[in-house]
Amino acid sequence: MLAADLEIRTEDRDFATGALVELLEAFRRLPEGGVLAVVGRAPLLRRDLAMWSKLTGHGLVEVAETPQGEVRCAIRKGEVPPDTTDPAGPGERLWIYTNFHCNLSCDYCCVRSSPLAPPRSLDRARIRELVREAPVLGFRAVYLTGGEPFLRPDIGEVLADCVASLPTTVLTNGTLLAGPRGAALRDLPRDRLVLQVSLDTPTPEGHDRHRGAGSWERAREGIRRARELGYRVRVAATLPDARSREEMDRWLSGQGFAPEDRLVRPVARRGLAQVGLPLARGELVPEVTLTERGVYWHPVGADDEDFRVLDHVGTLEEAVAAVQGAWNDERLTSRRLAEVFHCA
């Protein structure tokens, strides 16, 4: 469950019987950006908090059940500033989680991947069917992620299927690219495939502290190898504070990465991350995301129930409709609020 800065127990009280006042008393003590957990048994508590979050803009970032059967709602104090750096709108990018196992154990992995995680793969035939549907439905790019996609023995074939339909980006930790797995890259079209490699810091210390000893060197080697092969490489850094993000961006610029190939972003408090920016589903523009367990609102919450909008993967058209329906529901509150007032 998401780590909280403060926790209150409302027992069997909901907003009509005192829980709102208890919440406000705790909320006043909470710093901006902090997380308050509200734990209780009242049947209407979850609904009250969901409505409250939509009205006030403070994000309801997780709803979970405790081992004792209580509901635990985590609320982040403050609104998330809108992300104006990403030009893609909903429906332009199709995200596919190829698998969930990974050769690294990053301590802030948003989908809890590690060498011990079950593979949970979408098979190649399903991926091929889905990406074939994508251009007709208006998608402009495919993004493959995991887990570490290059752990799949058939990653070369999967990538070939994807680039045949749409320009494709594969997200990787880069550590396997210089080894035998990198052979998958030999014959793919350079103008249809981008490699997005995770590299957090200019020097090994910061990167390796979160991702494991030696991983920085191997990622750097992977980047070098991919560039040698003629691929466009985008570097993605995940950092908790703005100052280190600025430093990394400057360093990448010095390494010859163009602005569009430098993605420096904050840590999302999801999955294994105990720090970072807590995010509610409605605060993110949805991007259709598929895993073997179903359809999700956005890739950052692809292992979380509150981001799941469909519990199976059928056709891509069905997946798009499910995300669009969930998006409409999220926007209903602000539309209703605007309609409340009839005046002159």
Partner 1 sequence: MSELRIGAVAYDPKVVTIWEGIGTYLREEAQCPNEVQLFLSYPAQVRAVLEGRIDLAWNTNLAYLQCEAWSGGACRPWGMRDTDLGWTSHLVAPKGSRVRTLGDLRGAKVALGSRDSGQAAILPVFFLGREGLREGRDYQSLRFDTDAGKHGDTGTSEVEVLKAVLDGRADAGVVSDPFWKGLTAKGLLRESSMQVVWTSPTYSHCMFTGRPGLPESVGLSFGKALRGMRFDRPAHRAILEAEGLREWLPPHAEGYDDLRQAAREQGFFDRPQVRTIPAA
Nearest approach, Cβ of 36 to partner 1 (angstroms)?
A: 11
Minimum distance from residue 173 beta carbon to partner 1 (Å): 40
Work out whether 339 is an interface residue with partner 1 (CB under 8 A).
yes
Rule CB under 8 A: choose which of 1, 16, 183, 242 binds partner 1: 16
The pattern of x and - marking residues 136 through 175 that bind partner 1 according to CB under 8 A reads ----------------------------------------
Is 333 one of the binding residues for partner 1 (CB under 8 A)?
yes
Closer Cβ to partner 1, 55 or 242, answer by number: 55
Cα separation, 204 vs 305, whole angstroms:
34
Judged by CB under 8 A, which stretch of 22-30, 129-137, 170-178, 280-288 contacts partner 1?
22-30
- Asked if 315 touches partner 1 (CB under 8 A), the answer is no
Q: Contacting partner 1 (CB under 8 A), which of 116, 125, 213, 344?
A: 344
Smallest distance, partner 1 to C-beta of residue 83, A: 22
Q: Which residues bind partner 1 (CB under 8 A)?
A: 14-18, 20-21, 24-25, 27-28, 44, 47-48, 51-52, 54-58, 333, 336-344
